[in-house]
């Protein structure tokens, strides 16, 4: 992975984590926290969506949507666990 790919990976993670936090919780987690949430969200979506037969597409916007939806799922599950 080159430096350009790594930079895009971190930018997508940060934006996806921030968007997901707005949908689920209403506030952000800071730059590093948003990156971590977005990257975990992309991982979650990479596991869940193919099993459901769901495909978003390619490119920057596809990756952003993919990671954001996965991060929303991740934050929703975390929110449910914290209630218990």
Q: Quick: pLDDT tens for 50-66.
A: 899 888 878 889 889 99
Q: The pTM is what?
A: 0.86
User: Can you give 3-49 as a three-state secondary structure string?
Assistant: HHHHHHHHHHHHHHHHHHHHHHCCCCCHHHHHHHHHHHHHHHHHHHH
On the question of pLDDT at 76 being above 70, the answer is yes
| DSSP character at residue 25 | T
pLDDT band at 26 (very low <50, low <70, confident <90, very high): low
Spatial CA neighbour of 18 closest among 70, 57, 71, 56:
71
pLDDT of residue 78: 87
């Amino acid at each position: 992975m080159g430096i350009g790919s790594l930079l895009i990976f971190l930018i997508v993670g940060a934006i996806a984590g921030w968007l997901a936090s707005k949908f689920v919780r209403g506030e952000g987690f800071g730059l590093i926290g948003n990156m971590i949430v977005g990257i975990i969200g992309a991982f979650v979506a990479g596991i869940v969506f193919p099993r459901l037969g769901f495909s978003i597409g390619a490119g920057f916007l596809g990756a952003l949507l993919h990671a954001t939806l996965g991060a929303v799922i991740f934050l929703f599950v975390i929110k449910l666990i914290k209630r218990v």
